[in-house]
Chains A and B, each alone.
Chain A
Amino acid sequence: MNQKKRIVVIGATSAIAEHCCRLWMQRGPVELILVARNVALAERIAADLRARSGQAEVSVETMDFLSTPAIADSVARWTSQMPVDIALIAHGVLSPQQPCQDDIEKTRESVEVNGVSPILFAEAFAGAMERAGGGTIGMIGSVAGDRGRRINYVYGASKALMDRYAQGMQHRFAGTAIKVVLIKPGPTDTPMTADQKARGRRLASVESVAQGTVDAIDRGTAVAYLPRKWQLIMFVVRALPDFIFNRLNI
């Protein structure tokens, strides 16, 4: 296959997404559409990707990630001329829990950015891919979505929304050429976790998580915990009975 792969990255300034793009660059000709809120940063990422590969076509777009019409129109525009092979939906913000409790407006913002916006993008791409007869939607969820915890359940619950949504779409597209891939990273070394890192917490490298993401998208893996050990850890965390779990400070 000599055709350029067409890839749309939503939240393209995310460190995980950026490293996915670098890996895609390495593998041959691609056309990348980087969609981001911070255009200046996205332009620097685009320049980097162009310098890395002689055969990449990279463009940058910006939009309001919370606007339903903008999402519908943009996805229609990206998919109308030619099908999209991969849509990676990466944006998210690790909203601190306490401010969300103190001000429910912040709770709404967090749930919208981390939960509602990604599923609206996913639904819009799903329709387009269904019409085109193929494609892969990658969504970056989180291990935080596996069980609600007092320290981050606003963020966690938003990610959990993505969980059921991906599950439903996987059911819908079972046996077709459309794949829905849910990535669940554990704590990863990106700007999102800068203060955890400063406190000395061990984090997975963003390169390894990006590699796992690209591999999972290649294979159409339904749910990929990255690094793999989180699958086992979260299995245990989900299985803990409440009377134990509620006493733990995790």
Chain B
Amino acid sequence: MRPVSSWGRLSAEPHQVTALSDIATLADELHGKGPAIPLGRGRSYGDACLNPGGTLLDTARLDRFHSFDPEMGRLVCEAGVQLRDIQRFMVPRGWGLPVIPGTQHVSVGGAIANDVHGKNHHRVGSFGNHVRNLTLVRTDGGVVDCGPGVRPDLFAATVGGIGLTGLIATAELQLQPVTGPWLDTEILPYRSLDEFLTLADDSESLWEHTVSWLDCTAGSRARGIFLRANPAVDQSGKPPSPRRLAVPVTPPFPLFNRLTLPVFNSAYYHLNSRRGGARRRPFDTFLFPLDDLQDWNRLYGPRGFYQYQLVVPRDAGPAALRDILDIIARSGQGSFLAVIKTFGDRASPGLLSFPTPGVTLSLDFPNRGARTERLFVELDAVVRAAAGRLYLAKDARMPRELFEAGYPRAAALAKFRDPGMSSGMSRRLMGQ
């Protein structure tokens, strides 16, 4: 047993961590291993990848490619392969992953099991939309394939299924052609929520990647920075290798607090509005800015932090978002990294997939115990009234009834579950 934390560092409960290493003996290794839950890179913020007191099936070493078809761009690989590795090897060969979340340090298995989305959701949908097939290994020793065309029900339960249908051993992914590592980017400041929504609508048809950072210390008089990018026309030259920094220790208190937040936010806003405009940038520093600061989650101090990510349908969006920003401003617990983005209409394949047409907002809050929970209860009420939902990859605390309201198809998961799989999250939200 050793203590394991997820990305939010809210807990460090002991776990039995079983390192899976050999794809050939996986079925034997898993046989009778419950209650267990697969662990990818532990980039989920809450308890989706935790199983306090129980077993974690660590997939880090299931990291081999099996085959690549350079004509069709189809890659078969093991679930522990990191997205960063796929990009590293495939971009020079003219192919890339269609969907990458805000960090490349996630595994293929984790990307499927949370059906993750990227800044190009309005164009390509979520990760699960590009999975052609996968092989599941279950704790009864069974091995089953599923995909959009084979056992589609099991596939829908597995994509976004937070590990509960069995261990994804391998997946076949459809990559997309890429021209190179550069993006043509634009950075635009905006001064209200309406201005953001107009920018988002205007950008969706012409820009492949859109995302925005919001200063939420200002309440509903929001201001922010809108970022959009397309593959660069000029792909010449090698992008500089980024300077990697690391946060060496956990400070004794969160560095983002009531006093420093307005300063950070204001500085960030002004810095970016000034360096705004159009420029060519390397895709990884543009799309994954935090990947160059290793262990940045330590900045929130020893008690860890929550990320609260919601999506509300487009029509309810503006009003609900305004309420949310007002509640946050009033609480004085502003968030440094407030990210807002519109989702497109492409249907997500999973029963528990998060993306749905509308606006998604994610906010980081240092853990201040009961005070933070009181704020969340207020936010929950707005999300619920707007028929929205919270993202399981980020969640560590939502009440069961909000889960059931937000994910009406959740009940259908039960019959596809691997009885040996159970996580902190599944016990909290589904009772087992």
Q: Which residues on A sit within 8 Å (CB–CB) of B76?
A: 51
B23 at the A/B interface (Cβ < 8 Å)? yes
Give the number of chain A interface residues (Cβ < 8 Å). 19
Residues of A within 8 A of B (CB): 15, 25-26, 40-41, 44-45, 47-48, 51-54, 191, 194, 197-200
Pair A198/B64 contact, Cβ less than 8 Å: no
Distance from B181 Cβ to chain A, minimum over Cβ atoms (Å)? 14
8 Å CB contact of B2 from A44, A52, A54, A198: A198
Q: Give chain B interface residues in 52-93, CB to chain A under 8 Å.
A: 61, 64-68, 70, 75-77, 88-89, 93
B19 at the A/B interface (Cβ < 8 Å)? yes
Given A198-B17, A200-B3, A47-B64 contact (CB < 8 Å)? yes
- In the complex, the chain A residue whose C-beta lies closest to that of B22 is A41
Pair A51/B23 contact, Cβ less than 8 Å: no
Q: Give chain B interface residues in 252-293, CB to chain A under 8 Å.
A: none
Distance from B266 Cβ to chain A, minimum over Cβ atoms (Å)? 37
Given A197-B19, A199-B2, A200-B2, A44-B89 contact (CB < 8 Å)? no
Give the number of chain B interface residues (Cβ < 8 Å). 21
Distance from A218 Cβ to chain B, minimum over Cβ atoms (Å)? 16
Q: Which residues on A sit within 8 Å (CB–CB) of B93?
A: 54
Given A47-B64, A51-B65, A54-B70, A191-B89 contact (CB < 8 Å)? no
* A104→B89 CA distance, assembly (Å): 47
Pair B89/A48 contact, Cβ less than 8 Å: no
Known A44-B64, A47-B66, A199-B2; 19 more pairs at CB < 8 Å: A15-B61, A40-B24, A41-B22, A41-B24, A44-B23, A44-B24, A47-B67, A48-B66, A51-B66, A51-B75, A51-B76, A51-B77, A52-B65, A54-B93, A191-B21, A191-B61, A194-B19, A198-B17, A200-B3
Distance from A132 Cβ to chain B, minimum over Cβ atoms (Å)? 31
* A47→B88 CA distance, assembly (Å): 17
Distance from B96 Cβ to chain A, minimum over Cβ atoms (Å)? 14
Distance from A243 Cβ to chain B, minimum over Cβ atoms (Å)? 35
Distance from B70 Cβ to chain A, minimum over Cβ atoms (Å)? 6
Distance from A32 Cβ to chain B, minimum over Cβ atoms (Å)? 15
- In the complex, the chain B residue whose C-beta lies closest to that of A189 is B60
Q: Which residues on B sit within 8 Å (CB–CB) of A53?
A: 89
Distance from B55 Cβ to chain A, minimum over Cβ atoms (Å)? 12
* A191→B66 CA distance, assembly (Å): 20
Distance from A131 Cβ to chain B, minimum over Cβ atoms (Å)? 36
Max chain A CB contacts within 10 Å: which of B19, B22, B65? Answer: B65
Pair A45/B70 contact, Cβ less than 8 Å: no
- In the complex, the chain B residue whose C-beta lies closest to that of A199 is B2
Distance from B83 Cβ to chain A, minimum over Cβ atoms (Å)? 14
Pair A48/B65 contact, Cβ less than 8 Å: yes
Q: Which residues on A sit within 8 Å (CB–CB) of B88?
A: 26
- 19 example contacts (A-B, Cβ-Cβ < 8 A) are as follows A25-B89, A26-B88, A40-B24, A41-B24, A44-B23, A45-B64, A47-B65, A47-B66, A48-B65, A48-B66, A51-B65, A51-B67, A51-B76, A52-B68, A53-B89, A191-B61, A194-B19, A197-B17, A200-B2
Q: Which residues on B sit within 8 Å (CB–CB) of A198?
A: 2, 17, 19
- In the complex, the chain B residue whose C-beta lies closest to that of A44 is B64
* A101→B2 CA distance, assembly (Å): 30
Distance from A129 Cβ to chain B, minimum over Cβ atoms (Å)? 30
* A15→B80 CA distance, assembly (Å): 15
- In the complex, the chain B residue whose C-beta lies closest to that of A47 is B66
Q: Annotate B1-40 by CB proximity to A: 1 below 8 A, 0 otherwise.
A: 0110000000000000101011110000000000000000
- In the complex, the chain B residue whose C-beta lies closest to that of A200 is B2
* A122→B93 CA distance, assembly (Å): 36
Q: Which residues on B sit within 8 Å (CB–CB) of A25?
A: 89
Q: Which residues on B sit within 8 Å (CB–CB) of A47?
A: 64-67
Q: Which residues on B sit within 8 Å (CB–CB) of A191?
A: 19, 21, 61
Q: Annotate B179-197 by CB proximity to A: 1 below 8 A, 0 otherwise.
A: 0000000000000000000
Q: Which residues on B sit within 8 Å (CB–CB) of A54?
A: 70, 93
- List of 7 A-B pairs having minimum Cβ-Cβ separation, nearest first: A51-B65, A200-B2, A48-B64, A51-B68, A52-B89, A48-B65, A51-B67
Distance from A15 Cβ to chain B, minimum over Cβ atoms (Å)? 8
Q: Which residues on B sit within 8 Å (CB–CB) of A200?
A: 2-3
Distance from B97 Cβ to chain A, minimum over Cβ atoms (Å)? 15
* A228→B76 CA distance, assembly (Å): 36
Max chain A CB contacts within 10 Å: which of B19, B61, B64, B70? Answer: B64
- In the complex, the chain B residue whose C-beta lies closest to that of A53 is B89
Q: Which residues on A sit within 8 Å (CB–CB) of B19?
A: 191, 194, 197-198
Q: Which residues on B sit within 8 Å (CB–CB) of A44?
A: 23-24, 64
- In the complex, the chain A residue whose C-beta lies closest to that of B70 is A54
* A27→B178 CA distance, assembly (Å): 20
- In the complex, the chain A residue whose C-beta lies closest to that of B92 is A26
Pair A26/B64 contact, Cβ less than 8 Å: no
Distance from A108 Cβ to chain B, minimum over Cβ atoms (Å)? 28
Q: Give chain B interface residues in 147-174, CB to chain A under 8 Å.
A: none
* A35→B2 CA distance, assembly (Å): 35
Distance from A228 Cβ to chain B, minimum over Cβ atoms (Å)? 15
Q: Which residues on B sit within 8 Å (CB–CB) of A40?
A: 24
Distance from B361 Cβ to chain A, minimum over Cβ atoms (Å)? 34
* A53→B67 CA distance, assembly (Å): 10
* A25→B90 CA distance, assembly (Å): 12
- In the complex, the chain B residue whose C-beta lies closest to that of A40 is B24
* A25→B88 CA distance, assembly (Å): 11
- In the complex, the chain A residue whose C-beta lies closest to that of B2 is A200
Pair B89/A26 contact, Cβ less than 8 Å: yes
* A40→B22 CA distance, assembly (Å): 11
- In the complex, the chain A residue whose C-beta lies closest to that of B3 is A200
- In the complex, the chain B residue whose C-beta lies closest to that of A197 is B19
* A51→B61 CA distance, assembly (Å): 17
Q: Annotate B300-327 by CB proximity to A: 1 below 8 A, 0 otherwise.
A: 0000000000000000000000000000
Q: Which residues on A sit within 8 Å (CB–CB) of B22?
A: 41
Distance from B169 Cβ to chain A, minimum over Cβ atoms (Å)? 13
Q: Which residues on B sit within 8 Å (CB–CB) of A194?
A: 19, 21
* A246→B93 CA distance, assembly (Å): 56
Q: Annotate B89-125 by CB proximity to A: 1 below 8 A, 0 otherwise.
A: 1000100000000000000000000000000000000
